[in-house]
Structure 1
Amino acid sequence: MDGSDANKQMSQKMKADKIMPSGLAISNIPGIDAQSKLIRDMLDLPLYKEVETEYQKVVASGKKKPAWYQLYGGPPNLEQLATRLNRQGMYEIFYRAWSGSVHGQEVIKGNLTTGADAGVVQLRNPKDAQQVTLHAHNLILILYHLFVEKRLPQEMDKFKSWYMSIRGNLEQLRVFKS
């Protein structure tokens, strides 16, 4: 891929950057050309033609890099996707509330630690481990429930029984304080 347009564009950007060391070579990943061809060939299979046609239709409408949820008349953004799926609460907690931390914007709000271990408070901070663990458990339970409900409805009684057997542990996690 050394001669590709993307590589040439990246080389130009590297040369124009005032901080990057001059002559820094862009690594070529061994086997990338073969892997790239394999992916292109796979996407040319009849199985994916309908999706490719839809993708190109959305691109032609003005969206340069449409997200998967924008295809087939889907919503234009994640917030509207959450609304369509009746998951607005999850959006507010997991996207809107944490997006700033994940994307490094929380520094502006003064979320800095001080002292010998100065840094930026982030989602992976140990002080939030309990909350993050609880959210992870809740998301897994939602996924398990949806899977059983949609794919194995005959096993719903077993799922409910299993849930009741672990419910106490989850309640302990909810009230645990360090």
Structure 2
Amino acid sequence: MTDLRTPRLRLHPIDTAEGDRIVGRRPAAGDTWADDFPFDGDVHGVRAFLNATAAHGDQRPFGHYRITRTADGKAIGGIGFKGQPDDGCAEVGYGLSPSARGHGYATEALAALLDVAAGHGLSRVVADTTADNVASQRTLERAGFRRVGTNGDLHRYEVPLDAPSRPTLPR
């Protein structure tokens, strides 16, 4: 599978070897990481990807992607599907290293992942975030998601992939 490209980012579908390096926080020769990559959220997301891969085999295209900023070639975070689609729906999660936050990168990466989901026939994508994570809520809203409910401290969001209001990025 090839990398996904946006105007400012490259989303690289990771394999288990790269996943092991990220979880172990041990870059190999050729890995170019931001000083604060991976952060704890990256490790958590990649560990879930590795567990799913061990249990069910290759997850791509519904796996995990390393987010790399094209301006400097540094890995700044991750984004991915939390498992294989079910009944036309998939759940996503994402995170950026602290130094990369506040620049719209998460929204840009999320739009690219929504294109993958739509291109593989999914009808909707869901995500959740905690009530106190206002930045993540705004990211989801900028990517076209709408809050559809709450479950305790979690806010549940979804976006129909055929929605005319869903933002698309120039390629």
Give the number of the structure with larger relative contact order, counting CA–CA contacts within 8 Å between residues 6 or more apart.
Answer: 2
TM over 0.5: no
TM-score w.r.t. structure 2 length? 0.22
Structure with greater Cα Rg: 1
More helix by share: 1
